[in-house]
Structure 1
């Protein structure tokens, strides 16, 4: 087990090197969320939104949602597409034939995405604090970190799991985007859903995107008097984490589809 972890750490270093040598991947992972952050906050940041605890600037609402989008984009979208392309090119099959344990390979992939997500969170939080006067989640730091780790793990496992539904690399963008974009629009990520139909909110509540976004909003909300833990959101994300993990272990394919 110790050897597998050591090899997994080396895999993290390899993944990091490969990531930064691909400027297109780095651009869409970092610049895309930051572009949304600036456009939305410069346009709507000074507007006010009503929450159960009181009125908030929209900046306090959008910064945690951009963090949610950044983590999902890196952990789910990026990981699913990367694995599918590697599978179709026969890279996964060749890796499976090496002494590198499957655990070490997937550990390296998921851990690297976690580190990239953490870097994105630091950048987005820093910009939100310095440029848009967003309160840092100091008194809710524990719930903030717990939500981030659980969310990253959940969407990473789901990213691996969704590759079982993708027939080939050409279909990857369509399948991945079709499975995540509608949820981003109905889960308090791009649009506040306070005025949405109740049935739409009920549907969104079933999926982990809404839970992740709401839990981050609670952690960033300066009017929240408690530690900021959203038990319902944590339960829903945990259920999806176990579902994704089971699917990935049971059905993940190392060989190109016929």
Structure 2
């Protein structure tokens, strides 16, 4: 005996699962930042250089020159205090511009970027992860510099809230500009192996002409003019306005700290880095199509 059509039970088909949704950009960026930080820590030689270089240079200057003073008239500071702003500025440049330019060139050369491009990870999450890594490492490096200056060389840190506000915006603008410029410059080296040789001389030259190793006012005027085109000179001057007495502004090129121009130049380089980086960034090697 067979069941009549009226008594048959029809079982609906199970719904097919749709494609899994990716987490938001913020979540992906945080995850990527963790990956970037772990990768950075594993590169022990790079970590040692980036963190120790400004610390060692500050210690060398402070030790060699000892209690010698730099200043004008009755307003003087010891060499440790005078060179601290330059060491902070060069530390920011190392962890942002140099680190980004070299690491991205290496990742492009070894195929890391190509593999990432083939995943659902948005490009924005990748770059935000890089930015977060730079901010964390740069902040830690700066904290170590300030601790060394204050605890070992008796440098008096600012107590004025206004000066720390200046420090904050100069630091953020300088770090942001250095990061995007590093991303843009990462397309210049032809391979990951040549990246260090291409990037490091640029950083060294800028350090020598931007008031990092020498008082800026002692440089020839033509070198001052050239240095004024680049962001490191303004980053160093902005930091000097935070850590040096107000009267020492008379030693600057125009006799003032030029906060407005500092902000404008750093913002302009930030915009240049964004535009150039967007147009020139490559996920693959030159010989990979």
Please state which band the TM-score falls in when normalised by the shorter chain.
over 0.9
Bigger shift: residues 7-16 or 190-199? 190-199
Please give the residue correspondences for 1:72-111 in structure 2 after superposition, counting only pairs within 5 Å.
72-111=93-132
Matched, 1:152 2:175: yes
Q: 1:150 to 1:186 in 2, by over 3 A?
A: same
Uncovered stretches (5+) of structure 2, i.e. residues with no partner = 1-21, 250-256
Matched, 1:163 2:186: yes
Matched, 1:39 2:57: no
- CA deviation after TM superposition for structure 1 residue 114, in Å: 1.1
Matched, 1:203 2:226: yes
Q: TM-score, normalised by structure 2?
A: 0.84
Q: Which residue of 1 aligns with 2:284?
A: 255
Q: 1:57 to 1:32 in 2, by over 3 A?
A: same
The answer to whether the 8 Å contact 1:29/1:74 transfers is yes
Alignment counterpart, residue 245 of structure 1, candidates 274, 277, 281: 274
Q: Which residue of 2 aligns with 1:6?
A: 27
Q: Which residue of 2 aligns with 1:220?
A: 243
- Listed one character per residue, the Cα deviations across residues 212-258 of structure 1 (whole Å, up to 9, x for unaligned) are 000001111133699x7722111111111100111111110000112
Q: Distance in 2 between matches of 1:167 and 1:205?
A: 29
- Cα RMSD (Å) of the superposition? 2.0
- CA deviation after TM superposition for structure 1 residue 19, in Å: 1.6
Alignment counterpart, residue 232 of structure 1, candidates 261, 267, 286: 261
Q: 1:229 to 1:10 in 2, by over 3 A?
A: farther
Q: What count of residue pairs does the alignment treat as equivalent? A: 257
Q: Which residue of 1 aligns with 2:70?
A: 49
- Listed one character per residue, the Cα deviations across residues 74-127 of structure 1 (whole Å, up to 9, x for unaligned) are 111111110000000111011011011000001101211111000111110111
Q: Distance in 2 between matches of 1:152 and 1:53?
A: 34
Q: State the SS of the aligned residue for 1:98.
A: coil
The answer to whether the 8 Å contact 1:45/1:132 transfers is no
The answer to whether the 8 Å contact 1:143/1:229 transfers is no
Q: 1:2 to 1:218 in 2, by over 3 A?
A: farther
The answer to whether the 8 Å contact 1:8/1:105 transfers is yes
Q: Distance in 2 between matches of 1:2 and 1:221?
A: 46
Alignment counterpart, residue 166 of structure 2, candidates 123, 127, 143: 143
Q: State the SS of the aligned residue for 1:174.
A: helix
Moved over 4 A (4+): none
Q: Which residue of 2 aligns with 1:121?
A: 142
Q: Which residue of 2 aligns with 1:178?
A: 201
The answer to whether the 8 Å contact 1:218/1:224 transfers is no
- CA deviation after TM superposition for structure 1 residue 60, in Å: 1.5
Q: Distance in 1 between matches of 2:184 and 2:39?
A: 23
